[in-house]
Amino acid sequence: MTIAPAILKHFPDLNPPQLQVIGHLDGPLLVVAGPGSGKTYSMVLRALNLLLLGKALPREIVLCTFTEKAAFEMRDRLSAAAQKTGYHGDLSELVVSTIHSLCHRLLSQHRHRTELGHNYETLDELTQLLFIFDHFDEIIGPQESGLYLGRWKTRWTAIEGARGYFDKITEELIEPQRLLASGVLFLHRIGNAYLAYEKALFENNRVDFTHLQSMIYALLTDPEQGHSLARDIRYVLVDEYQDTNYVQEQLLLQLTEKTRNLCVVGDEDQSLYRFRGATVRNILEFPTRFLDCTVVKLTTNYRSHKHIVQQYDRWMASADWSNPRGMPFRYDKRIAADPDGEHLNYPAVFCIWGRDERDEASRFADLVHFLKANGVIEDYPQADRPRPQPIDPACAIRARGPDHPVRSHAPPLRRLLTAAKNACPDGARVTQGPLRPDLAGAPPMALRAAGSLDGPALPVAGADACQAHLQFHRGPEDLRNLSTAVPILP
């Protein structure tokens, strides 16, 4: 572990695990970072440390994160840290972007190696649907027995449903020929539709987000062309790794195949984007990709009130995360509050209980409106920070009016969230309402998470849900569950 003196001088508040992350120079690195643990802070300083020690030039480092906004913030923080430590290299050459933007950058540089022509267009979620609509007859085809592709009744539900399968096929790197040879009628139909969709894309000089990634992966795995894409990249650092999908994992592994300098940062507890194709398996299985992978855990929460941290940690630890088929569904860790932080004495964790889901949502919405009206939160998204299972605040807020019925998307586990919710940096924000006196019928797990029940830990559905997630189809080797990969629309 080697850290530039300028970093130690100007950032004296770093804790030992953060120093271990920053001082890791070469080889694979997994950083399991709990909420409020300074993971972005550590990532930025690790990149700066590599620059200060002369391990890489700015153009040889890639920083990836989940959103464009986060990428801009990361670039600003890196620039500020570089100025503070006296680094004067050209940081405009350092790539800070989302994985999609990185793929777009690489594709723009190597377009001549693909089927795309000059001025190709990248389709977003809306224009992708409209593209399928414009080419409906050649992609979806006519109804048979009143159903499109044997499954959907209307044109638009067929477009939305087929798009989901197209994205999943591409993200999982499934060869459409295997669908055609599967012997399952629906898979055969969706395989033909997928081939027609790909043909229409390239004929019209279009590419969607998933194909953007799969095309770069194909170039990286080409023995004659792969080196030209990765030759100028020595270090890749990826934030929010728990929100990546299968093709992104494979792409990153290929991009760093020769240097092996891949650092991924994330928290399996905050894996929320399965509905967008993400899989928690990427972060859970990362140590198996490299025999010499270094694992560092950032477990001190500097952001939240200590009572929130304690209840969150207690709630998560109460579940059985073991996996009889292999590695556990959660890393062994205990999240702790900042021991030197100031934690005001106020009820940081309290509960909402309702007669039913609608009443519970209405009470939650009342609380959110109260917090907003009194300046405790500045906007509504602050009431829904990342946590193991999210409640949709927009759904709850709409429930306050008679014209906005609640749609039930939440599994029962979401109603158990009494302690797994983060506060704002000053610890003044809460996300649940007052504890009701009629707690006799409340779920025992939720009561104990709120500190109202003693006794041995009770298992909850979290591990079962995670296990079902992990058993879901992954990669091109298994087609059995593809027909249930996307919800069937009526």
Position 56 in a domain: yes
Of the three residues 237, 265, 298, the one that is the final residue of a domain is: 298
Same domain, 288 and 326: no
Position 422 in a domain: yes
CB atoms within 10 A of CB 287: 16
pLDDT at 383: 58
pLDDT at 380: 66
Same domain, 246 and 377: no
Read off the CATH number of the domain in which 14 is found.
Answer: 3.40.50.300
Position 119 in a domain: no
Q: DSSP string of 407-434?
A: P----GGGGG-SS--PPPTTS----S-P
Specify the pTM. 0.76
Query: Alpha-carbon torsion 198, 200, 203, 207, what sign?
Result: negative
DSSP symbol at 118: T
Q: Are 95 and 60 in contact (CB under 8 A)?
A: no
What are the average pLDDT values for consecutive 10-residue runs of the chain, which has 490 residues?
96 96 97 95 97 97 94 96 96 95 94 92 96 97 95 96 96 95 96 98 96 96 90 95 96 96 96 88 94 95 93 92 90 94 83 84 85 80 44 46 36 33 31 34 33 31 34 44 40
Distance CA 97, CA 109 (A): 16
pLDDT at 382: 54
Distance CA 290, CA 16 (A): 24
Position 114 in a domain: no
Same domain, 96 and 148: no
Same domain, 338 and 454: yes
Same domain, 292 and 333: no
Task: Kindly report, residue by residue over 247-293, the tens digit of the pLDDT.
Answer: 999 999 999 999 999 999 999 999 988 888 899 999 999 999 998 99
Same domain, 261 and 293: yes
Same domain, 142 and 99: no
Distance CA 21, CA 3 (A): 10
Distance CA 466, CA 109 (A): 39
Same domain, 365 and 453: yes
Residue ranges making up the domain that contains 378: 308-459
pLDDT at 374: 86
Same domain, 332 and 453: yes
Position 130 in a domain: yes
Same domain, 453 and 359: yes
Phi-psi region of 149 (alpha: psi -120 to 50; beta: other; left: phi over 0): left
DSSP symbol at 331: -
Same domain, 453 and 412: yes
pLDDT at 54: 96
Domain count, the chain: 3
pLDDT at 59: 96
Position 117 in a domain: no
SS3 333: coil
Same domain, 10 and 101: yes
